[in-house]
Structure 1
Amino acid sequence: MKREHIILPADPADSEDRAVSIEGMERGQRARLIRKTRNDLGLSQVEFASRFRVPVGTLRDWEQARAMAPDFAVAYVRVIGRHPDLVAQAVA
């Protein structure tokens, strides 16, 4: 079994705290970027998913860091953040 490198150990005084791995930190950062981009556009998850052709369940998993968005998805979201109308037109 692969052991993840812990970059932020759990606080022993907090029974609900968990250690954070490098992968977990990256997953969280990607989730934050996606959520922030969607919120900056003023769209709900359903609206964003529909407008940019992303399955809403996948978007939810990415935003809640249950799954790590792949590199291509992060790049896509960054382009959406800069040119939302152009992207929406291209996928229509």
Structure 2
Amino acid sequence: MKKNPIVLPSDPGDPEDGAVTQEGMERGQRARLIRMTRTGLGLTQAEFAERFHVPVGTLRDWEQARATPPDFAIAYVRVIRQFPDIVAKAVA
């Protein structure tokens, strides 16, 4: 099994710090995009999930980087970021 290379090594002075792989870095960047989009709209996770028809548990997992959102979800969030009212109306 091939291991992902370490992109960000752990801090040797911090026993709770862990190394970050490329996959982990990408998952974190996707989580940040989703969280920034939601907070930029001034919505709670529950409000965002209801307005844009995303399961709230899925949204939480994505925002906390417990799961990697697929490419189509990132594209959806980018469209929401630019046209939130149009998207909300389209999915209503």
For normalisation by structure 1, the TM-score amounts to 0.97
The corresponding residue for 1:60 is: 60
5+ residue gaps, structure 1: none
Provide the secondary structure at the position in 2 that maps to 1:54.
coil
Separation in 2 of the partners of 1:18 and 1:45? 28
1:76 Cα deviation (Å)?
A: 0.2
State the distance in 1 between where 2:81 and 2:11 align.
36
Computed over aligned residues only, the root mean square deviation of the Cα atoms, in angstroms, reads 0.6
For structure 1, which segment, 4-13 or 33-42, has the greater mean C-alpha deviation from structure 2 after superposition?
4-13
Structure 1's consecutive aligned runs of 4 or more residues displaced over 3 angstroms after TM superposition are none
Task: For 2:5, give the aligned amino acid.
Answer: H
Q: What is the distance in 1 between the residues matched to 2:54 and 2:19?
A: 31
Aligned to 2:4: 4
Amino acid across the alignment from 1:83:
F
Give the structure 2 partner of residue 22 of structure 1. Answer: 22
> What secondary structure sits across from 1:2 in the alignment?
coil
Aligned residues: 92
How far did 1:2 drift? 3.4
Of residues 36-45 and 1-10 in structure 1, the stretch that sits farther from structure 2 once superposed is: 1-10
What does the per-residue CA deviation read over 1:25-79, in whole Å, with 9 as the maximum and x for residues that have no partner? Answer: 0000000000000000000000000000000000000000000111000000000
For residues 29-44 of structure 1, what are the structure 2 equivalents within 5 Å? 29-44=29-44
Amino acid at match of 1:4: N
